Structure 1
Amino acid sequence: MRITGLEDVQAPIERAHGLPNAHYTDPATIAEENHAVLASTWAGLATGADIPEAGDAVPIRFLGQPLLLLRDDAGQVRVFQNICRHRGMILVAEPRRIEGAIRCPYHSWCYAKTGRLVATPHVGGPGQNSHDGIDRATLGLIEVRSHIWRDVVFVNLSGDAPEFADMHADVMARWTEFEQPLYHGGTGSRFTLDVATNWKLAVENYCESYHLPWVHPGLNSYSRLEDHYHIEAPGQYSGQGSYVYRQLRDEAGRTFPDFDGLSEHWETGAEYISLFPNVLFGVHRDHAYSIILEPVSAMQTREHVNIYYAAPDTDPALRDRNAAQWREVFEEDIFVVEGMQQGRAAPGFDGGRFSPVMDGPTHLFHAWVAGRVAAGRE
């Protein structure tokens, strides 16, 4: 039986193989990959909409690490390790609004929302709240490097990736017309899908249009396979675009307001990209969305979908219809990515082959993962 290696994945698409089964099933391989692909790059963690008000805090476990997403009193979004510097106790167990300081439930050490350690009760003995051996200035919360783009909070756990704006300058320039305020559609415009698959299969399915005629017949009825084009930026992102975007209309013919000043391409155009590693984006003339892929385990992914608009006062009923429409599309993909995950249990599968014409965006993602893992080994 032929064993697929990383060099086979990085080969030209005409002879390349997909990632070996171990990258979807083997804990040791996936742990190595997680460090190279998720922890050492800018990975999507959450959205600013998850913490809309000052003091809002959400505990998140990502790649096994306990993190705390927090909006401070100045409105800045921060990410900290969700542990007290005293004994490593979890600080915030459930999403909540923090009115004053962040207080450890164990020994009541307290931290400002900026992470600064502000109180250490009885640390020097009963009634003695300071001690020469405890330097509060050096014992603040450990902040995780973060960056916000299109309301997605990206984190670099390793702390040594290039600046986000440098790493992703190309896609930021591509969508510079959409650098406008985004207004989250509210509770009805966010939903979560739990999928029994490795997160990478969700990426590689999303970034290609090859599957549309069979998996999305409703969408394909007006935005056909031949109406799509590839988006390929090696080492950064890949995806698909459509020349035929049809705006949602209510019974009176009303639509969502457009983003300001868009070029003619966006009258009927739309684009859908996978920003490596784990965030999926879609942009249209009148709304946009993000999907953050949370790698819950080797074979379990949670998809966090959030939908945004160009104005804060869009029609609630139309927003609900839009969310329902997208949810239907995304749910249609579940049997595919779960089926591919089940297929990775077949020992004779060599990673599969790519259509040289139709699978370019997916091959780019596989090659990027393989390149990151190979570089980590070197």
Structure 2
Amino acid sequence: MTLAQHTTASTATTGHRDRMLGLLRRRPPRTSLEAPLYTDPDLFSLDMQGIFATQWFFATTEAEIPEPGDYVTVDIGTLSLIIVRDDDGQVNALHNVCRHRGARVMTDRRGTTARLTCAYHSWTYATDGTLLHASSPGETFDRTCFSLRTAHVRSVCGLVFVCTAAEPPTDIDDLAATVTPYLAGFDIASAKVATRIDLMEEGNWKLTMENNRECYHCGGHPELACSLFATWGLTADTVPPELAADWDRSLLADAALRERCTTHGLPWDIVEHLTDRDAGFRISREALDKAGESFSVTGERLSRKLMGDLPDFRLGRTSLHVQPNAWFHGLSDHVITFAAYPVSADRTLVRTTWLVAEDAVAGEDYDVDELTHVWRHTNSQDADFVQLAQQGVSSPAYVPGPYMRSEDQVEAFIGWYTDHMIRHLDHLDHLDPGERS
């Protein structure tokens, strides 16, 4: 890059930064974002730098890479990572960029391999990223200087989080300490993957997350409404008359669940730190409707095997939300993980994984179609909602609208996002021009 080109790029970056700061700082509380923050490719790039290059995000589960050589790839914007278990059983996160001339090393979404080999010039790496082979007769160079670049990895009860920052936020330790009593009994690390589904949503990643953080739209989820109380997210003074009976039923179910949890020594309180830390999260154990066992039409269990060492099928759902890109449902008979991976300003990959007990047998203990029925339909409906939202915010008629009281967690997500982006963009202002581009 010439000096003139470098100066132009730096000026453009500064312009995008200043524009984005203005949009973020003038957002009124409890109001959706202005259109460019959902639609502009340049501001999307700043999202990737300010959120996904600085914060911990959910990548996969240990259950998906149970043996040495097992790997999955995770793509976020232009970033690609290989999450792989090495020969010592350690989980590593490696940048999916060959150290020769930058080619993508692994192109499949998942697999098993003894070595990571770039198809371009056959540079070959161990599963810990060490360069093993670089065939070029007569060439001598220090191969120890050309290992695959690494990212930080943290497993929390089998949930694998990754951070690409040089110094990752440390409050993930607080998250781990708080959620472990809720999650440990599921034994996610040793679970069996029943199936995975990738769904491309035609919308900005923040619209995907906003949609997940509220149930104001849950009237559009008839399958989910069979087991999830329609009053989720409401309070006593916000329940509409038509949901009064559901509200009363949910209170009775929650009281029964808390008594059962107390008997088994299991936590059930809501713990919420969605806005006051980097690794923002919310966890709780909440009752389900009808039989109260699982996400099914009847509320009954979908697998005959209990997860981990859980003592009872009727333990509702353990619900975990983690900023910026994940949510989880732990049922006594299975666990579902959801990850939102931003692809572009108007596209987001949602990856859903269903986990069952390690010894559960497909066709005998569970049926995959029945296991996935509710959330296959719900995810598809959500994708339609997100696409409608993206189409709307892309219109010149769009004006940011207010969040309802039942959308408190949407406000919490957008507040977290806004605060972190302002902090990041303010930091850019103190860098030399060359460091901004």
Scaled to the shorter chain, the TM-score interval is 0.7 to 0.9
One-letter code of the match for 1:37?
A: I
The structure that is helix-richer by fraction is 2
Query: Structure 1 residue 352: deviation in Å?
Result: 1.4
Counting only pairs closer than 5 Å after superposition, residues 170-249 of structure 1 correspond to structure 2 as: 171-173=178-180, 175-178=182-185, 180-186=187-193, 188-212=194-218, 214-226=219-231, 232-235=272-275, 236-238=280-282, 242-245=286-289, 246-247=292-293
Matching of residue 98 in structure 1 with residue 128 in structure 2: no
Q: Distance in 2 between matches of 1:153 and 1:19?
A: 30
Report what 1:316 is aligned to: 363
Q: Distance in 1 between matches of 2:423 and 2:155?
A: 27
Query: Structure 1 residue 345: deviation in Å?
Result: 1.4
Q: Distance in 1 between matches of 2:309 and 2:72?
A: 35
Q: From 349, 368, 372, give the equivalent of 1:302.
A: 349
Relative to structure 1, is the Cα distance of residues 329 and 104 closer, same or farther in structure 2, using a 3 angstrom cutoff?
closer
Q: From 403, 407, 412, give the equivalent of 1:354.
A: 403
Q: Distance in 2 between matches of 1:351 and 1:145?
A: 37
Q: Distance in 1 between matches of 2:232 and 2:418?
A: 31
Q: Distance in 1 between matches of 2:55 and 2:111?
A: 29
One-letter code of the match for 2:80?
A: P
Report what 1:372 is aligned to: 420
Query: Structure 1 residue 239: deviation in Å?
Result: 7.7
Counting only pairs closer than 5 Å after superposition, residues 329-340 of structure 1 correspond to structure 2 as: 329-340=378-389
Matching of residue 24 in structure 1 with residue 30 in structure 2: no
**Deviation string for 1:278-302 (max 9, x for gaps)?**
1121122222110111212111111
Query: Structure 1 residue 104: deviation in Å?
Result: 3.9
SS at 1:338 equivalent = helix
SS at 1:189 equivalent = strand
Report what 1:289 is aligned to: 336
Q: Distance in 2 between matches of 1:137 and 1:294?
A: 32
Query: Structure 1 residue 362: deviation in Å?
Result: 0.9
8 Å Cα contact 2:159-2:188 kept in structure 1? no
- Give the paired residue count: 360
User: Please, which runs of 5 or more residues in structure 2 have no aligned partner?
Assistant: 1-20, 236-269, 427-437
Question: RMSD of aligned C-alpha atoms?
Answer: 3.3
Relative to structure 1, is the Cα distance of residues 215 and 174 closer, same or farther in structure 2, using a 3 angstrom cutoff?
farther
One-letter code of the match for 1:192?
A: D
Q: From 54, 75, 87, give the equivalent of 1:73.
A: 87
8 Å Cα contact 1:189-1:307 kept in structure 2? yes
Counting only pairs closer than 5 Å after superposition, residues 119-198 of structure 1 correspond to structure 2 as: 119-122=133-136, 125=138, 131=140, 134-163=141-170, 165-166=172-173, 168-169=175-176, 171-173=178-180, 175-178=182-185, 180-186=187-193, 188-198=194-204
Deviates more, 1:291-300 or 1:323-332: 323-332
Query: Structure 1 residue 73: deviation in Å?
Result: 1.5
Q: Distance in 1 between matches of 2:379 and 2:52?
A: 23
Query: Structure 1 residue 58: deviation in Å?
Result: 4.2
Report what 1:363 is aligned to: 411
Report what 2:4 is aligned to: none
Relative to structure 1, is the Cα distance of residues 6 and 172 closer, same or farther in structure 2, using a 3 angstrom cutoff?
same
Percent identity reads 24
8 Å Cα contact 1:286-1:309 kept in structure 2? yes
8 Å Cα contact 1:206-1:274 kept in structure 2? no
Q: Distance in 1 between matches of 2:287 and 2:111?
A: 43
SS at 1:217 equivalent = coil
Q: From 33, 36, 42, give the equivalent of 2:56.
A: 42
Relative to structure 1, is the Cα distance of residues 272 and 201 closer, same or farther in structure 2, using a 3 angstrom cutoff?
farther
Matching of residue 114 in structure 1 with residue 128 in structure 2: yes
User: Please, which runs of 5 or more residues in structure 1 have no aligned partner?
Assistant: none
8 Å Cα contact 2:158-2:187 kept in structure 1? no
8 Å Cα contact 2:73-2:81 kept in structure 1? yes
Query: Structure 1 residue 108: deviation in Å?
Result: 3.9
SS at 2:288 equivalent = coil
Q: Normalised by the size of structure 2, how large is the TM-score?
A: 0.72
Query: Structure 1 residue 210: deviation in Å?
Result: 2.3
**Deviation string for 1:140-163 (max 9, x for gaps)?**
221122223354432212232223
**Deviation string for 1:227-276 (max 9, x for gaps)?**
66686423213588642253358999985333466589x83532434311
Q: From 47, 63, 78, give the equivalent of 1:64.
A: 78
Q: Distance in 1 between matches of 2:283 and 2:215?
A: 8
Deviates more, 1:153-162 or 1:163-172: 163-172
Deviates more, 1:243-252 or 1:304-313: 243-252
Query: Structure 1 residue 315: deviation in Å?
Result: 4.9
One-letter code of the match for 2:125?
A: Y
Query: Structure 1 residue 221: deviation in Å?
Result: 4.5
